[in-house]
Amino acid sequence: MNTSAYRIEKTDRLINGKNVLKFRCNRTNFHDKLIVLVHNHLKDKDNEQHTNIILIGNFKKNDEIVVPDTVDTQYQLIIITLLIISDYKPICTLVLNKSESYTINIQKSQFTHTFDYFKQTHIINNKRYHLISRFPNSNNINDVYLVCDTDDNSAFYKGFINYKDNQKSCERAENEIKAMILLKGKFVQLFDYHHDIDNQIFHIITKYCEGGDLSQKFKRLTDLNLYEYITINHIYIEHKNRIFKESEIINYISQLFNILLELDKHGIVHCDIKPSNIFIDVYGTLILGDFGCCKFIDQSTIIEDQDSKVFFEPSVAITSVSNSKEITDPTIFDMNSNTYKCNSWNNRLYFTSIHQDDRNNHQLFQSTGEIKISEYRYSKQLIEFIHRLLDQSPKNRESLNQLLNQYGKPSPINI
C-alpha cells in the first residue's frame, strides 16, 4: 500500500496493546463531524456488503479511536463527512492492516467515492436509500441500518420491524410511530414510514444524530483511558483519565429532566431509557430515541393535530451541585429508566468515573447494591444527589417533582 498517496503515517502508538487510528485535519473549512466505519471487504458476497460494514462511531477531526477486535487482518476504513461541500466527494476508503496504527490526514484528495460505493438500496414511499451498515444488535424482528438518501446524501436510521411471527411487535411499531409524531425537539424525529401490510413489515426512517450516543461516547473515553501515551519531543509520556467534567454531568441531568417533563406532558412511558438510546446532536444536545417499548398512559393523547399549537413548559436548568472544589472529571455510566409515571420517577442514574481506580464501582452496585463513589473525584453534593436517586427502596427514591423542587429552577426555552 502506498500510504503517502493517501497522506497516511504509520505510528507505533498503542492503547492497552491495541492499535490506534488518529484523525488529523488542519483545514478550518473542513466539516468537523465524521462517520467512521470499517469494512471487512474480503468477506463480501453478492448483496451482503452492508453486513460486513461495521459502524465504529461519530468523530471530530483530530479524534482518535482504538481499532476494534472485529476487523479482519486487512480491512477497509470508510470515512464519511456529514456535510457535503461542493469541492469534496463525501467518502474516503482506505485499505489498512489490523496490525498497524495510523495517523490519517483528512484532506481533499482522499475523498474520491460517492454513496454509490454502497451497493444495496431500498425504496420506501418512492424514495431510494443506500444501505450503509447493519447495526450489530439487529435481529429477525427488528433489523436496523444506517442509510443515506440517494438524492441529497442525508444520513438516517432505518428500521425493518417484522411482526409476522410476533404480533406484539406490530403494536410496538405503531406506538413508536405515534410517539415520534407527537414528540418534537428533544427526541429522535420521524422522517418517513411505510406499513407493508402484505408482508407484515413496518419500515421506519428516523433522522440521524451526528454525535452518536452516550454509550459510544463512554466507550471511546474508556478505551483511551485504558493505556494512553502522548508524544512530547518524540518521548512517550503517560496521559490518563480523559473524562467528563462535572459541569457536563449537571448539564446532562438538566436535559434529561426536561425530556422526562416532556414525556410526562404527553402521558408517555418510555420504558427503555439507557445510554445507547440517548443520542447527541451536532450541538451536543441530548436526544431520546427508540420508542419501541413505550406505553401511553392516556390513550387519548396518542395523536394530536400536527398543525395545532404546542405549548412548551419552561425548561428546567439544574443549579450546580458543586462549586466548592476542583475535581477530576466524572461521567454518567448508566441511565436506565424501566418505569416512569406521571407522578413518580424511578430512574436508575448511576455515576462512576472512567478513572482506573473506579472501574469496578458500577459492577459493585449491580451485584451488592453498595454505592461507592470517590470523594476525591466527586463533590459531596453530587454524591448525595446520586444516593438519593439510587435508594434501595423504590418508595424512598426521589420523585421527579421532588428533584426539581430541590435542584431545578425555570429558565426560558429556546425553540
Distance CA 126, CA 116 (A): 18
The number of distinct structural domains making up the chain is 3
Residue 192 sits in the same domain as residue 284: no
Nearest to 214 by CA among 284, 144, 160: 284
34 assigned to some structural domain: yes
Residue 246 sits in the same domain as residue 360: yes
Q: What is the pLDDT of residues 72-91, one digit of tens each?
A: 999 998 888 765 444 445 77
Residue 262 sits in the same domain as residue 345: yes
Residue 49 sits in the same domain as residue 193: no
Q: Among 70, 94, 114, which residue terminates a domain?
A: 114
Cell of 150: 440517494
232 assigned to some structural domain: no
Residue 279 sits in the same domain as residue 377: yes
Lowest-pLDDT choice from 196-205, 240-249, 341-350: 341-350
Residue 203 sits in the same domain as residue 330: no
Nearest to 351 by CA among 360, 362, 339, 359: 362
> Residue 408 above 80 pLDDT?
no
Q: What is the pLDDT of residues 340-364, one digit of tens each?
A: 332 233 333 444 455 556 667 777 7
pLDDT, mean of residues 157-173? 89
Phi, psi torsion values for 148, nearest 5 degrees = -135, 145
Residue 297 sits in the same domain as residue 361: yes
Residue 377 sits in the same domain as residue 289: yes
What domain range includes position 160?
120-207
Asked if 61 contacts 34 with a C-beta cutoff of 8 angstroms, the reply is yes
Residue 131 sits in the same domain as residue 110: no
Amino acid letter, residue 167: Q
Residue 384 sits in the same domain as residue 260: yes
233 assigned to some structural domain: no
Nearest to 398 by CA among 352, 351, 349, 346: 346
Residue 107 sits in the same domain as residue 149: no
Q: Among 114, 133, 156, which residue terminates a domain?
A: 114
Q: What is the pLDDT of residues 265-300, one digit of tens each?
A: 888 989 888 888 999 987 889 999 999 889 888 655
Residue 36 sits in the same domain as residue 134: no
pLDDT, mean of residues 35-60? 82
